[in-house]
């Protein structure tokens, strides 16, 4: 079960990092999504996909895009990764087990695609100009923008495996067991990574480990 502190952090993360901008229907990803939706409609009508498969897959697209951005730090690469994930999900739809959470299955496909791409290309895209944060953060006043920048900078300083575990648990509401399956490690390891990530964020944002002080950070 997710702790109260993880849930509170998740609320703050979703406030500062909403489900990304709606996918532009005229973009390549938008066109792929529209075509996939048509194919799924046809398959649904012919009972070739499990009930609810279409709706769950299409609804997952913004979550996939947010997760892809957190991994790639690049809008173009993340859209390519989401496109890859959606097409792979359609190709391997028979492997999906009805009754299980589709988002966890899709995140696994997306992350495997990302890792395979990294192994193949050895490509790292830094976010030196803060463009990643700007794409994810909602428009706001100057004070809010500074808070967003502080949070993004703190997230960027986390060990990548800790950041990934934290976002899966606190931002995407996955269970530790689901995150462990995606990350390919024991659930205890996920808990440890999330705990260390939270502690590092608290320290970087000027908070001690106790979330009760009066001068509490806006992120907790």
For 81-103, write each residue's pLDDT tens digit.
Answer: 999 999 899 888 888 887 788 99
Where among 106, 136, 166 does a domain terminate?
Answer: 136
- 132 and 165 share a domain? no
CATH number at residue 207: 1.10.10.10
Residue 82 · residue 29 · CB < 8 Å: yes
95 lies in the same domain as 10:
no
pLDDT over 70 (residue 52): yes
Same domain, 110 and 173: no
Structural domains in the chain (count): 2
Same domain for 94 and 31, yes or no, is yes
| pLDDT reading at 219 higher than 50 | no
Q: How do residues 15-43 score in pLDDT, each as one tens digit?
A: 655 445 567 788 888 888 888 888 877 77
Q: Is the dihedral of CA 60, 66, 70, 74 positive or negative?
A: positive
Residues 111 and 158 in one domain: no
Cβ 86 vs Cβ 33: under 8 Å = yes
Rg of the Cα atoms in the chain: 18
8 A C-beta contact, residue 23 and residue 65? yes
pLDDT digit string, tens, across residues 94-147 = 888 877 889 999 999 999 999 888 766 654 444 444 444 444 444 444 444 445
37 lies in the same domain as 79? yes
């Amino acid at each position: 079960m997710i702790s109260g502190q993880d849930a509170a952090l998740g609320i703050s993360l979703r406030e500062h990092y909403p489900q990304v901008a709606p996918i532009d229907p005229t973009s390549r990803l938008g066109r792929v999504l529209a075509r996939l939706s048509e194919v799924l409609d046809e398959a649904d009508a012919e009972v070739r996909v499990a009930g609810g498969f279409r709706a769950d897959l299409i609804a997952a697209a913004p979550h996939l895009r947010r997760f892809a951005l957190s991994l790639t730090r690049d809008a173009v690469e993340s859209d390519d990764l989401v496109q890859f994930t959606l097409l792979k999900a359609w190709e391997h739809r028979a492997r999906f087990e009805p009754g299980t959470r589709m988002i966890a299955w899709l995140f696994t496909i997306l992350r495997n695609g990302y890792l395979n791409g990294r192994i193949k290309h050895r490509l790292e895209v830094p976010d030196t100009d803060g463009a990643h944060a700007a794409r994810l953060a909602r428009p706001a006043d100057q004070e809010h923008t500074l808070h967003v920048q502080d949070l993004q900078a703190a997230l960027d300083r986390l060990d990548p495996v800790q950041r990934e575990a934290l976002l899966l648990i606190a931002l995407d509401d996955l269970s530790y067991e689901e995150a462990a399956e995606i990350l390919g490690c024991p659930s205890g390891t996920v808990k440890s990574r999330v705990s260390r990530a939270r502690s590092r964020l608290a320290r970087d944002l000027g908070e001690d480990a106790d979330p009760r002080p009066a001068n509490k950070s806006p992120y907790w």
